Structure 1
Amino acid sequence: MPAIPPRTSAAKAWLRALELTAPIASHPRRILPNVIEELAEACGEAPALLSDRERLTYRALAERSNRYARWALEQGLAKGETVCLLMPNRPEYMAIWLGVTRVGAVVSLLNTSLVGPSLAHCIKIVAPRHIIAAAEFIDRLATALPGATQVWAHGAGPGSFPRIDVDIERYAAQKLSAAELRPVGVEDRALLMYTSGTTGLPKAANISHFRLMQWSHWFAGMMDTRPGDRMYSSLPMYHSVGGVLATGAVLVGGGSVVVREGFTARHFWDDILRWDCTLFQYIGELCRYLLRTDPLPHETEHRIRMCCGNGLRPDVWHDFKSRFRIPRILEFYAATEGNVSLFNIEGKPGAIGRVPSFLAHRFPAALVKFDVEKDAPIRDEEGWCVRCAANEVGEAIGRIGAEPSNIAGRFDGYTSEEDSEKKILRNAFEPGDAWFRTGDLMRQDAQGYFYFVDRIGDTFRWKGENVATSEVAEAICAFRGVTDANVYGVQIPGTEGRAGMAALVTEDELDLAAFRTHLSARLPGYARPLFLRLRSRMELTATFKYTKHEFVRQGYDPAATADALYFDDPERRAFVRLDQALYHRIQTGQFRL
């Protein structure tokens, strides 16, 4: 079966995105749940959200959402009060937050990889009235927050918590009456999504209904989604891409979304063909995993016309597009809470996007020179930031505008005002101006295309997730006998981002097996260090900070240090001594990392 060729030009995609987003500000009471309701009336029996366990048409999605809206009303949830949601990918996930946000409450989307203190932190900082958790996560929740009240289980499982999937059947499914509806508009907060930012534990970012409408309709224009489209979605629904950007774009276009609980390279193309998908979303790691699989006779017999995502490396781009015959790749850059958005609809390999000249006022992005040692933008003799020249590396920032109709210039911040202020760069180029700091280093070529270089500060990316070194170090130091932990990221050939490595000082000999068990109970898989470096002492700066640059430079090469190095061997599921032979295997890609 031949792949579908691109059906619109890059220029038309930009114009279509503008056309779809232009009316949002002029209809302040029309939010995403309203859009789904309109689609239910127009094409109610068309498929909306599909999975092996459940299929929801647009009418069924709207009706399920209405039941959750009435549940929220009966619980007495006031406008702005929060419900936490801890659930794997499934059609019900979107039905829950569409319904609860319809009546003014806010849904906090919890990362399902979190355990222990990290999970407890994310719940506590949003002070929820209720927590909805899938049955398989009840034990984890009870361990993280012993004695937690107002917990609702979804599905049969342990504990005596009420089952919300049973309870909502008591509520009517029809459209909400005027008496039931509350005055909810695009300016109101809808979701809380978590981001680690550049330092510390996760922060809860405010996501307004305006942002949900903008994301879904803008990407509907960029991808030219239509009723015949079907998106394959295996990325987490608690992330903006998996839960709103691509998913919402297909739904507002009248298409359908196949929701898979997680990505597996082995089943990917079988699923694409079985569900007859025309679109899929990716992160760079996903594409690399697919390239590492053995060729399949049917891997090019699909109808995929476009894939959409971020993090696709230049050295993977061409091979991925060629081997699997992908007509178009839409690479983009956007921070969940930020205002810097870049789109590479033209398909320039390696670029994360650009801003056409006619949209420069709408997406006001800039690169400023950055001092890595001082961890701050460089200012000239007069105190102003310095813009980067072509191909010069600097921090990407976005102008925070006063025009309320321009969502691209807005920064809604976090639940903590202190955290919000830390992300704002003031008086950058003129008195009183304000810019959102992305915390990302980029460069821009002479044609205007941006290229990602690295994360600033302590955070690095691994497996498509941000890893905050302070959080990892805190978990490590909670293990008895560990006195110092210096966490950083190291590059491994053939992988995206940086893998975690920890330099440790211990009082006695480290029990590696017990230490590994300790980390597994406290950190998600992507945050656990892949390498350990055992030292007798830790160097500190004059301000009592750990030095990282030399550790990062030496990496995990046994020849670069006399310290004992260990590798978390995925085959043995244990930390093993890292020697030159093992180092060679890692360097030559003999492990699936």
Structure 2
Amino acid sequence: MLLWTLCAAVLLLGLLFLRFPYLHLDLQHVLSKVRTGRQIRKHIQSNYTVLDRFLDAVRTHPHKPYLRFKDETFTYRDADALSNQAARVFVQSGRLKQGDTVAMFVGNEPMFLWLWLGLAKIGCPAAFLNHNVRSKSLLHCFSCCGASTLVAAAELQDAVEEILPSLLEQQVTVYILSDTSMTVGMESFTDKMSLASSEPLSKDLRSHVTLHSPAAYIYTSGTTGLPKAAVITHTKLWFLSWLQCTSGVNSSDVIYVSLPLYHSTGFLGCTGAIERGITVALRSKFSASQFWDDCRKYNVTVVQYIGEIMRYLCNTPKRPNDRDHRVRLALGNGIRADVWREFNSRFGKIQIREFYGATEGNIALHNYTGKIGAVGRDSFLNRMIFPICVIKYNVETEEPVRDSSGFCIKAGKGESGLLVSEISMRTPFFGYARDLQQTEKKKLHDVFKKGDVYFNTGDLLRVDEEGFIYFDDRVGDTFRWKGENVATTEVADVMTVADCIEEANVYGIKVPGQEGRAGMAAVTLRDGQKFDSADVFKHVENFLPAYARPRFIRIQSSIKVTGTFKHLKGKLVEEGFDPNLITDPIYFLDEKERNYIPLTLDVFNGVTSGKIKI
């Protein structure tokens, strides 16, 4: 009888897994999320932050390397001492009050982490400014986080001096990471830090901090307008830092971070390493030619990526030692299915863990099955705990489709729609610093019933018949290029300051063989003016980071708008940059010529074939 019962149970399990082949992985993933949630609730009850985890790591393995940068190695004890010294500079200045925000305008270097850890030790959140932004955008980013102090890298001094009068008018304390400063209103920092004590600081300095306090502000372009400062609380930082744990990173791993630390992905590579108690190999800037050499040099086992990185690596010349490395795991987002296959074929069977999420979002998707091209799974188990849904969306009106009762409609299998996630106690949305209007814009009300509220991701995704989720596109006035989100209104505002341009309609277009969308601007010229290509090139070079500069400019006699004066982009996006379809003059940004040159058929064919790089 027992034998028959066992056989029946085995048969039942076999039939169950034939019907639901991913059930065991779905179950493992949900259980992992539940365990993570329980652990974080314990942390909330005991007020245990990522900083506390770092200090525990300092005590348990003080001599283990935390950071390797170029030819330098910093142990956990070194990191503790250096961040203590950085913290004391702020404390001894007497200018920071409890909870004040400090803006960091710093690139990928060890000081970025010493500053953040030091600020956490005195209970002050840090705002991570993108070191590519300049002028109006830089001043906006600084102002919207409410910071009272700015710390900038020495190589960024010119950019700070450009906005210094405005900062001094606001009585902002400005530090430069150097031993001396000859600029009035700008103080040196590293000389003060080298003289400061490295002894531990009193916990009383951060006694006001709870898990609901902000740990950092990380900027995102969002769907419209200038960058916004997403609030990263200590609780959210825990959730984000647990990605490495849920992806299979263990205590003996070494993670390679070449993404910008001002981005959530790069920064969380370092805080996730703290949670795991592992070593970070940090690079100042991604280099495709040096990537694998660095991995060999630092004995890297885990790498971070965005889709562009993987494509760049696959485009490098093949080498005999392409598989001579110890990398076993890659964590990131945005990799195309064809690049995924090519990467594994060329560099070895590296486990790729693709995820999806927004810096300010209240959910994240995780491709825990390894399904090529997918960003996650829409399993009933997952929906029970973290309610998400893909709803029908009208890309022309840029609004969700609603039924006769005014409620949203779930998209069908394989149908592209807007991804939304319910806002609740379990999945809160913290919004943007000092920007209630933009925070409210990210909320959808009365989605499936009266009174419910969902987070609008601003992204179009689709779910296939097996429940796998795939990313399709972004909606609104943002496109993604070179791994960066580009706000079209910001680019348009910059372009209309150029002497010859009257109006600009900026949008993203597909370019064969390229990830994301390249920037294109349809512009009208001022009366009596001709298109001054050299001046426009110089203008966008001075005021826009490289990824935000329009690759193509289309000269039009007028720009079509809606009844509410919103630029029409649908047909422009569809036409792209093909001179066979467009009679308007088109110009192409030529980096070598440092100019916008006419887009001839030869140039067009060179771009589409990949012979001309953009």
1:279-318, Cα deviation, whole Å (9 max, x unpaired): 1000001111111111011121101110010000112110
Q: Secondary structure at the match of 1:192?
A: strand
- Matched residue pairs, number? 579
- Within the candidate set 470, 475, 487, 2:494 is matched to 475
Q: 1:225·1:249 contact (CA, 8 Å) conserved in 2? A: no
Change (3 A) 1:134 1:157: farther
> Pick from 184, 197, 222: which aligns with 2:222?
197
Question: Partners of 1:578 and 1:178 in 2: how far apart?
Answer: 62
Name 2:39's counterpart in structure 1: 23
- Residue number among 198, 201, 218 corresponding to 1:173 in the alignment: 198
Contact 1:377 1:395 in 2 (8 A): yes
Alignment partner, residue 352 of structure 1: 375
Using the TM superposition, name which of 156-165 and 450-459 deviates more: 156-165
Larger radius of gyration: 2
Conserved 8 A contact 1:64-1:95: yes
Match of 1:236 among 257, 260, 266: 260
**C-alpha offsets along residues 155-197 of structure 1, whole Å, 9 cap, x if unaligned?**
3576433222221234332222344442312110111111111
Higher relative CO (Cα under 8 Å, sequence separation at least 6) belongs to 1
- Shift in Å at residue 21 of structure 1? 4.6
Alignment of 1:50-199 (within 5 A): 50-52=68-70, 54-74=72-92, 75-146=94-165, 148-149=167-168, 150-156=173-179, 159-160=182-183, 161-199=186-224
Distance between the aligned counterparts of 2:240 and 2:48, measured in 1?
14
What is the DSSP-based 3-state SS (H/G/I as helix, E as strand, rest coil) of the residue aligned with 1:78?
A: coil
**Structure 1 residues 307, 9: closer, same or farther in 2, change over 3 A?**
farther
Q: Write the distance in 1 (CA, Å) between the matches of 2:326 and 2:380.
A: 33
Residue in structure 2 matching 1:527, options 545, 548, 553: 548
TM-score (norm 2): 0.91
3-state secondary structure, aligned to 2:151: strand
Distance of 1:480 and 1:348 partners within structure 2: 51
Question: Are the equivalent residues in 2 in contact too, given 1:135–1:158 (CA < 8 A)?
Answer: no
Q: Which of the two has greater helix per residue?
A: 2
1:188-209 Cα offsets, whole Å, 9 max, x none, are: 0111111111111111111101
Q: Does 1:433 align with 2:457?
A: no
Q: Deviations over 1:33-58 (max 9, x none)?
A: 11100000000000001101642211
For the Cα contact (< 8 Å) 1:332–1:344, is it kept in 2? yes
Show the counterpart of 1:557: 578
Cα distance in 2 for partners of 1:229, 1:314 equals: 26
Report the residue type matching 2:562 in the other structure: T
The code of the aligned residue for 2:59 comes to E
The 1-side partners of 2:181 and 2:572 are apart by 45
Aligned-pair Cα RMSD in Å: 1.8
Following superposition, the deviation at residue 14 of structure 1 comes to 5.9
- Cα distance in 2, alignment partners of residues 13 and 475 from structure 1: 45
The counterpart of 2:276, out of the listed 241, 245, 253, is: 253
Contact 1:490 1:552 in 2 (8 A): yes
Distance (Å, rounded) in 2 between the aligned partners of 1:190 and 1:256: 22
1:558 is paired with a residue whose SS is coil
Deviations 1:242-267 (A, max 9, x none): 011x3222232121011101111111
Shift of 1:148: 2.8
TM-superposed CA distance for 1:355, in Å, is 4.7
Q: Is the 8 A contact 2:243 2:272 kept in 1?
A: yes
1:395 aligned to which of 395, 413, 418: 418
Assess if the C-alpha contact under 8 Å between 2:362 and 2:423 holds in 1: yes
CA contact (8 A) 1:66 1:99 kept: yes
Please point out which of 320, 332, 336 is paired with 2:355.
332
Aligned to 2:248: 224
8 Å Cα contact 1:369/1:393 also seen in 2: yes
| 1:498-520 Cα distance to aligned partner (Å, 9 max, x none) | 00001111121121111111111
The CA deviation at 1:361 is: 3.2
Question: C-alpha deviations, 1:435-476, integer Å up to 9, x for none?
Answer: 000000110112221111111111110011111111111000
Structure 2 SS opposite 1:361: helix
Question: 1:18–1:73: structure 2 CA closer, same or farther, 3 Å change rule?
Answer: farther
Question: What is the distance in 2 between the residues matched to 1:108 and 1:532?
Answer: 34
What residue number does 2:465 align with? 446
Aligned CA distance change for structure 1 residues 16 and 370 (closer, same or farther; 3 Å): closer
Match of 2:20 in 1: none
2:52 — aligned with what? 34
* Structure 2 SS opposite 1:351: coil
Letter in 2 for 1:35: R
> What's 1:47 paired with?
65
Contact 1:369–1:386 (Cα < 8 Å) also in 2: yes
Find the residue that maps to 2:199 and give its secondary structure.
coil
Q: Secondary structure at the match of 1:250?
A: helix
Q: Structure 1: which amino acid aligns with 2:410?
A: R
Separation in 2, partners of 1:495, 1:273:
28
SS at match of 1:414: coil
Q: Which residue number corresponds to residue 5 of structure 1?
A: none
Q: Note the 1:443-592 alignment, pairs <5 A.
A: 443-507=462-526, 508-592=529-613
Deviation at 1:18, TM superposition (A): 4.4
- Structure 1 counterpart of 2:81, one-letter code: E
The one-letter code sitting in structure 1 at the alignment partner of 2:565 is: F
- CA offset digits 1:109-146 (Å, max 9, x no partner): 00011111111110111231110000000111111343
2:325: which partner in 1? 302
Q: In 2 relative to 1, CA 18–225 (structure 1 residues): closer, same or farther, beyond 3 Å?
A: farther
CA contact (8 A) 2:537 2:594 kept: no
TM-score (norm 1): 0.94
Of the three residues 271, 276, 282, the one matched with 2:294 is 271
Q: CA deviation at 1:106?
A: 1.5
Any idea what SS the aligned residue of 2:266 has? helix
User: Which range moved further: 518-527 or 225-234?
Assistant: 225-234
In 2, distance between residues paired with 1:177 and 1:377?
51
Judge conservation of contact 1:17–1:221 (CA < 8 Å) in 2.
no
Distance 2:429 2:403 in 1: 26
Please say which of residues 12-21 and 350-359 is displaced more in the overlay.
12-21
Distance 2:206 2:493 in 1: 45
Code of the aligned partner of 1:365: I
Find the counterpart in structure 1 of residue 9 from structure 2: none
Gaps of 5+ in 1: 1-7
Contact 1:229 1:250 in 2 (8 A): no
3-state DSSP class of the match of 2:386? coil
Structure 1 residues 340 and 27: CA distance shift in structure 2, 3 A: closer
Whole-Å separation in 2 of the counterparts to 1:540 and 1:564: 20
Counterpart secondary structure, 2:88: helix
AA in 1 matched with 2:301: T
- Equivalent position amino acid for 1:164 in 2: F
Q: Per the alignment, in what secondary structure is the counterpart of residue 266 of structure 1?
A: coil
